[in-house]
Each structure stands twice: as C-alpha cells, then as structure tokens.
Chain A
Amino acid sequence: QQQVKQSPQSLIVQKGGISIINCAYENTAFDYFPWYQQFPGKGPALLIAIRPDVSEKKEGRFTISFNKSAKQFSLHIMDSQPGDSATYFCAASAGSNTGKLIFGQGTTLQVKP
C-alpha cells in the first residue's frame, strides 16, 4: 500500500512534442506529490509539486494533473526540449512528521532534436 507505481520506464519524444509520465498510488493518506528531475551524475532536484486539494498545477512548460478518485497523477512536459532529457521521479508523502517520501521507479526521458 506504500508503493508508488510509475510508467513508462523510458520515453523518447521529438523536440517540441509532449512528454507524459504517469504515477499511481494506493495509500489514501498521501497528501503531497512532488516530481523530481535528475540529470546524470547529479542528485534529484524538485521540479514541481501538488497537493490533492487541486486538480492541476502548472509551472512554465511543466504541468501536474491530479485525479484523486483514481489515485493517479501525471507530469506533462509541453514543447519538450533536448535539455529536458533526464530521469524523472514521482513521489508521495503521507504528511506525517517525518517527511518521508515514497518514490516511483523513475522514467528516463530522451528528447530527440
């Protein structure tokens, strides 16, 4: 019940296209859903995050869509650029005092020029 399932494992998109990464969870106590971006040789860095009281959050070309009833959330990257090529992780937290995150398995995105 603590798992966060992420798909696809890898994704190839042409420059200018839309990249979509999906995550699903079971634990209804999760109340914070961040996405992290990781470049090779670097640590993950927060990209965008959402709480379940909103259905969508947009920051520039990056949008999180959240479906509370389906227990799913997704990351959309509009106008994908080669510089977006990285590994993306979704995560979830249950809002406890520990701040622990449960991470998805990761998606490796390649944006072709």
Chain B
Amino acid sequence: NAGVTQTPKFRVLKTGQSMTLLCAQDMNHEYMYWYRQDPGMGLRLIHYSVGEGTTAKGEVPDGYNVSRLKKQNFLLGLESAAPSQTSVYFCASRPGQRHQPQHFGDGTRLSIL
C-alpha cells in the first residue's frame, strides 16, 4: 500500500530549465493538491484538482502548471525554473467527501541554481 508517491525525491536545476514533478496515488482519491513548503511559511497551495481532467489555481500558482489526465496522477510543471522556486514540494490526495483528511507524499526537494 504505497499511498501517495512523489517522483523524484531530489532535483537540482539551473535557472531557465524545465521539469515535471510526478505525484501518483493508489487510494482512488478524487481530490489532489500540490503545495510548496518554505521555512516559516507553512504549506502553501499551488494548484489543485477535484477530479480527472480538472485543475484550478491555489494561493501561489504563478510559474507552475499542472495536469491531471488520469485520476491517479497529478503532474506539476515548471516551464522556466527560477531561484525563487527553490522549495520542498508536497503532493496530497483525499476522498471527495467533506471533512476527509489529506494524505501527503514525502516530498520533492528542488533546488534552482
């Protein structure tokens, strides 16, 4: 029972490079989320999805794009990485019913040089 799996776990990029972070969940959850975690700022929502084929902006969406072509996968893309995007990125998923907990992956640590 893997839960939420994030790939890769670590990555170093140069400014201007692009990359995609993959999140996969095996719990058949409807909702999925991408957060970034920075010291002293908690977790901030980047984008989220309430179902296959749907995405929406969160609190800090600029510089990121997402896609949810399959229910179990939620991809986060950086088209042109900037040093300000150095962070730890977490994916989460949860069932569609109200007041259900979000289940988190173990994060991707991304450094932009």
In the bound complex, CA of A101 to CA of B90 (Å): 13
- Is the C-beta of A103 less than 8 angstroms from some C-beta in chain B? yes
Chain A residues with Cβ under 8 A from B92's Cβ?
43
For the A-B complex, the count of residue pairs with Cβ-Cβ distances under 8 Å equals 61
Other-chain residue from B31, B44, B104 in contact with A98 (beta carbon distance below 8 A): B31
Q: Chain A binding site: helix, strand, loop or mixed by DSSP?
A: loop
- Is the C-beta of A105 less than 8 angstroms from some C-beta in chain B? yes
Interface size class of B (residues with CB under 8 A): 20 to 34
CB B69 to nearest CB in A, in angstroms, measures 20
Q: A41-B106, A99-B94, A103-B43 are in contact. Are A51 and B99 (CB under 8 A)?
A: yes
- Is the C-beta of B12 less than 8 angstroms from some C-beta in chain A? no
CB 8 Å contact bits of B94-113 with A (1 = contact, 0 = none): 10101111111111000000
Interface residues of B in 30-59 (CB under 8 A from A): 31, 33, 40-45, 48, 50, 56, 58
- Is the C-beta of B4 less than 8 angstroms from some C-beta in chain A? yes
Other-chain residue from B41, B56, B101 in contact with A34 (beta carbon distance below 8 A): B101
B40 touches A9 (CB 8 A): yes
B102 touches A98 (CB 8 A): no
Other-chain residue from A6, A31, A101 in contact with B102 (beta carbon distance below 8 A): A101
Q: List 20 A-B contacts (CB under 8 A).
A: A32-B98, A32-B99, A41-B106, A42-B107, A43-B92, A44-B90, A49-B101, A89-B43, A93-B99, A95-B98, A97-B50, A98-B50, A99-B31, A99-B50, A99-B102, A100-B48, A101-B45, A101-B102, A105-B40, A105-B42
Interface residues of A (CB under 8 A from B): 6, 9, 31-32, 34, 36, 41-46, 49, 51, 89, 93, 95, 97-101, 103-106
Query: Which 5 residue pairs spanning A and B have beta carbons closest together?
Result: A43-B104, A103-B42, A46-B101, A103-B43, A105-B42
Interface residues of B (CB under 8 A from A): 4, 31, 33, 40-45, 48, 50, 56, 58, 90, 92, 94, 96, 98-107
